[in-house]
Amino acid sequence: MGDIYHHRARLIDGREVGLDEWRGQVLLIVNTASKCGFTPQYRGLETLYENLRHKGFAVLAFPCNQFGKQEPDDDAQIAEFCRTNFNISFPLFAKVDVNGPDAHPLFEQLKEEAPGLLGSRAIKWNFTKFLVNRAGQPVERFAPTVKPEDLASRIIKLF
The residues annotated with a catalytic role in the active site are: 36
DSSP symbol at 64: -
| CB-based contact 138:114 (threshold 8 Å) | yes
Q: For residue 34, report the phi and psi dihedrals to the nearest 5 degrees.
A: -85, -15
Rounded to whole angstroms, how far apart are CA atoms 67 and 65?
6
**Among the residues of the chain, which ranges form H helices?**
41-52, 75-86, 105-113, 152-157
Rounded to whole angstroms, how far apart are CA atoms 144 and 159?
24
DSSP reduced 3-state for 99: coil
Region of 16 on the Ramachandran plot (φ > 0 left; ψ -120 to 50 alpha; else beta): beta
DSSP reduced 3-state for 83: helix
